[in-house]
Amino acid sequence: MSDDYRRTQGSQHAVEQLVLLDIRNMLRSRGKDIRSFPLPDIDESYDNSGGVDREIIEETSVEADQDHASLLLSLNPEQKYAYEKILSSIDNRDGGLFFVDGPGGTGKTFLYRTLLTKVRGEGKIAIATATSGVAASIMPGGRTAHSRFEIPLNIQEGGVCNFTKQSGTAKLLQKASLIIWDEVPMTKRQAVEALDKSMKDIMGQPYVPFGGKTIVFGGDFRRVLPVVRKRSRGQITNATVKS
């Protein structure tokens, strides 16, 4: 963990402190405190994060890759309709659950990029995720949903995400104005339900879908369904988001 710091720092003490800060950030993201472990004390003069969690710093540092005005002018009528409905939900803080459906090549990702550019340009937090790494990589700041939401790989019925209320991930989701999850039809419904339960818990709104956040799902039900090993057609269908 210290190799990079050894190349840039002049003293062993500085290297140690920067590594300790990295460890503290990792522990915070899991809802833990570095002071619970037998490690050296941290010199706060080396911390330039201002006490902001690593997850929030990462998301707020994502830069828009294109000019919002040019993206907006390129939207077709259906994209523009979805864009305005979703933005209205964010601006009014109403929360809302949307699904952008369409075959490949119809411009779903272009719509996401326009939304992300607009929301981030206003200084708000927008989280971009996808079920697959390929789909996540073509969105600015995209991450896989399992990575960003800490969804267990072997998610079971009634499961929840692995983050705690005190973790950096929870604080990021609480601050987020928009959450996008692409290629949802490829994931098991239990993963979506786990995020729903966890969001309700951290937002303190148990009766509102996803705790009242604006959520945009997207994908194409004409493609691959969730992979459920050694199960019948009925069991595979039962694992889909539509169920």
3-state secondary structure the chain: CCHHHHHHCCCHHHHHHHHHHHHHHHHHHCCCCHHHCCCCCCCHHHCCCCCCCHHHHHHHCCCCCCCHHHHHHCCCHHHHHHHHHHHHHHHCCCCEEEEEECCCCCCHHHHHHHHHHHHHHCCCEEEEEECCHHHHHCCCCCEEHHHHHCCCCCCCCCCCCCCCCCCHHHHHHHHEEEEEEECHHHCCHHHHHHHHHHHHHHHCCCCCHHHHCEEEEEECCCCCCCCCCCCCHHHHHHCCCCC
* Phi-psi map region of 103: left, alpha, beta (phi>0 left; psi -120 to 50 alpha): beta
Is 183 part of any domain?
yes
Q: What is the mean pLDDT of residues 159-185?
A: 92
Regarding whether 79 and 23 lie in a shared domain, the answer is no
Is 81 part of any domain?
yes
Regarding whether 187 and 132 lie in a shared domain, the answer is yes
Return the pLDDT at 50.
Answer: 67
What digits encode the pLDDT tens for the residues 14-25?
999 899 988 988
How many domains, the chain?
2
Question: With a threshold of 0.85, does the pTM exceed it?
Answer: no
Residue labelled with tokens 């889909």: 240
Return the pLDDT at 59.
Answer: 87
Using the predicted structure, report yes or no on whether residue 224 has a pLDDT greater than 90.
no
Domain of residue 176, residue span:
60-238
Using the predicted structure, report yes or no on whether residue 29 has a pLDDT greater than 80.
no
Higher pLDDT, 50 or 110: 110
Regarding whether 156 and 84 lie in a shared domain, the answer is yes
Q: Which of 27-31, 166-170, 205-209, 216-220 has the lowest mean pLDDT?
A: 27-31
Regarding whether 101 and 126 lie in a shared domain, the answer is yes
What digits encode the pLDDT tens for the residues 57-81?
888 888 766 688 888 889 999 999 9
Q: What is the mean pLDDT of residues 194-205?
A: 95
Is 136 part of any domain?
yes
Using the predicted structure, report yes or no on whether residue 45 has a pLDDT greater than 70.
yes
Regarding whether 47 and 64 lie in a shared domain, the answer is no
What digits encode the pLDDT tens for the residues 104-143?
888 999 999 999 999 999 989 999 999 999 999 999 999 9
Regarding whether 73 and 36 lie in a shared domain, the answer is no
Is 192 part of any domain?
yes
Regarding whether 151 and 44 lie in a shared domain, the answer is no
Is 243 part of any domain?
no
Q: CA-based diameter of the chain, in Å?
A: 63
Regarding whether 95 and 16 lie in a shared domain, the answer is no
